[in-house]
Amino acid sequence: MAHELNRHTFDAVMVPNYAPGAVIPVRGEGSHIWDQDGRSYIDFAGGIAVNSLGHCHPELVKVLTDQANKLWHLSNVWTNEPALKLAQQLCQMTFADKVYFANSGAEANEAALKLARRYSVDKYSADKHQIIAFDNAFHGRTFFTVSVGGQPKYSEGFGPVPEGISHLPFNDIQALEKAISHHTCAVIMEPIQGEAGILPADPDFIRRARELCNQYNALLIFDEIQTGVGRTGELYAYMRTGVKPDILTTAKALGGGFPIGAMLCTDEVAQAMAVGTHGSTYGGNPLGCRVASRVLELVNDRDLLDGVRERHLMFMDGLDELNDRYHLFSDIRGQGLLIGCQLCDQWQGQARNLLVQAQDAGVMVLIAGPDVLRLAPSLIIPPDDIHTGLERLGQAMVQFLHTRTEEA
C-alpha cells in the first residue's frame, strides 16, 4: 500500500545524517511494534536502550497525560514539583547529592565535562584542565562530547577540536598510570562501552582509575547513559563495581522514551556550577521529570532488577543455541539486557546486513559498529516475546547465510 508519508519523504525533506530503515513504525505496545502496513515486529532494540519499560507502558502514559493536563513548561526561571521530586529520588537512590537536568545524554555529558573543568580551574589552577578519555568511547554528538569521545570519525571534518583531551587504550592500567597527572581534571569512562561493541571495563581498571583520581585530585566521571536505569540488572552499573564516581551522567532509559538527561554529582563538586555558569531552557521540564520519576519508581525494584538478570540468561541460552547451529558469532557478551554478539572474522563488517535480515524476519535489533549485533530490549520484555524474537533472529541468520553464500 502506498502511504502519503513514506521513506522517500525522508530523503526529500530531511537532512541526510541518518539512514533509517525501510519500514515506518506507527504504533508500539510492550515489546511489539507495528508498521504502516500493520506488520508486527518484536522489539529487541528498545529505541537504543531507551524504552526501558517497553512501548506505551500504561503507568507512564497515565502520568504523562496527567501532567499534560496540569503544567508543561516553565523554564528555569521557576522550579517545578516533578523536577524537585525526581532530583530527590536520584539523590536517595545513588551516591549523588545534587542533580542538574538536561534533555539528552550529550547535554548531560556536556554539563559534566564543563563542571569538571570549572571545578578544577576554580579550586586548583587554570592549567588543571586535562580530560582523560578512552579509545572508541562514545559520549554524544555535541562538539565537546565528540571531541572527548574516542571515535575520530565523529569529530573529524569540523575544524579545530577543543584542547586538553587525551585518549588512552581502554582497560590499560599502565597507560592510565602514565598519562594521569596533577594537570588532569577528570577521567571519563563508560562502565560498558556501548557504541564500541559492548566492551565492559575491567573491575581492576575501574578500581585503579578511582585510586589514581584520588591521588591526583581528578574527578571520576561515569557515563551511564547506556548502562543506567536498570539495564545491567542494577539501577546503575557502578553499583556492581564497589566504586563510586564523582559525577555520573544518565539519560536514554531514564525517561523510558521521553527525552530527558541528568548529571549527578557530589555536593562539593556541584558548588562550582554557580548561578549563571550553565543552563538549558528545557532542562528539568515537568513532563519529562514526571515520567522519569515513575520510571525510577518502577525500575528501582529488586524484583524488576532480578528479572533483568533472569532475562539475560534467557537471551544468552537462546543466542548460544542459535550460534551452535549457525556459527555466526565469535563472542556473545554483555550484562543484563545490554548484549553484544561479535561476528566471526569471516563475517566482519556484516552486522548491518544481519540487522536488515532480522527486520525482514520480524525482529528489530541494533548494531554497535560494523561487527557487532546489539540487543537492548525492554527490561520487562515477556519471556514469550524473547523466544519468538530469537526464533525470528534464527530465521534471519539462515537467510543471512543463504544470501552471503549466494553472493560469494
Ligand X SMILES: Cc1ncc(COP(=O)(O)O)c(C=O)c1O
Binding of residue 357 to ligand X (CB under 6 A): no
At CA 117, angle to CA 112 and CA 120, rounded to 5? 120
Binding of residue 105 to ligand X (CB under 6 A): yes
Binding of residue 106 to ligand X (CB under 6 A): yes
Task: Using the structure block, give the residue that is written with the C-alpha cell 548502562.
Answer: 227
The residue annotated as part of the active site, out of 43, 223, 246, 371, is 223
Span interacting with ligand X, options 54-62, 136-144, 317-325, 358-366, rule CB under 6 A: 136-144
Separation CA 50–CA 47 (nearest Å): 5
- Chain Cα centroid distance, residue 24: 23
Encoded amino acid at 208, one letter: R
Binding of residue 140 to ligand X (CB under 6 A): yes
Binding of residue 195 to ligand X (CB under 6 A): yes
Encoded amino acid at 6, one letter: N
Task: Using the structure block, give the residue that is written with the C-alpha cell 579545530.
Answer: 160
Span interacting with ligand X, options 99-107, 168-176, 329-337, 361-369, rule CB under 6 A: 99-107
Binding of residue 102 to ligand X (CB under 6 A): no
Taking the least distance from each CB to ligand X, the nearer of 12 and 19 is 19
Span interacting with ligand X, options 104-112, 210-218, 285-293, 333-341, rule CB under 6 A: 104-112
Please state the closest distance from residue 284 (CB atom) to ligand X, in A. Answer: 16
Could you confirm whether 252 is annotated as catalytic? yes
Task: Using the structure block, give the residue that is written with the C-alpha cell 530490549.
Answer: 377
Among 138, 144, 238, 315, binds ligand X (CB under 6 A): 138
Whether 325 contacts 219, CB under 8 Å: no
- Strand 40-43 versus strand 199-200 pairing type: unpaired
Taking the least distance from each CB to ligand X, the nearer of 109 and 342 is 109
Binding of residue 285 to ligand X (CB under 6 A): no
Please state the closest distance from residue 292 (CB atom) to ligand X, in A. Answer: 13
DSSP per residue, 66-119? HHHTT-----TTS--HHHHHHHHHHHHHSS-SEEEEESSHHHHHHHHHHHHHHH
Could you confirm whether 66 is annotated as catalytic? no
Span interacting with ligand X, options 7-15, 219-227, 324-332, 391-399, rule CB under 6 A: 219-227
Show contacts of 161-169: CB within 8 Å, 24+ apart: 164/129, 164/130, 164/131, 165/130, 165/131, 165/133, 166/130, 166/131, 166/132, 166/133, 167/133, 167/134, 167/135, 167/137, 168/132, 168/133, 168/134, 168/135, 169/134, 169/135
Taking the least distance from each CB to ligand X, the nearer of 372 and 397 is 372
C-alpha atoms less than 13 angstroms from C-alpha of 390 in its C-beta half-sphere: 20
Could you confirm whether 267 is annotated as catalytic? no
Nearest residue to ligand X by CB is 105
Separation CA 274–CA 225 (nearest Å): 24
Tell me the site size for ligand X, rule CB under 6 A.
Answer: 15
Taking the least distance from each CB to ligand X, the nearer of 90 and 108 is 108
The residue annotated as part of the active site, out of 252, 315, 371, 385, is 252
Helix (H/G/I), strand (E/B), else coil: 265: strand
Among 89, 94, 104, 378, binds ligand X (CB under 6 A): 104
Catalytic residue list: 138, 223, 252
Residue ranges binding ligand X (CB under 6 A)? 48, 104-106, 109, 138-140, 190, 194-195, 223, 225-226, 251
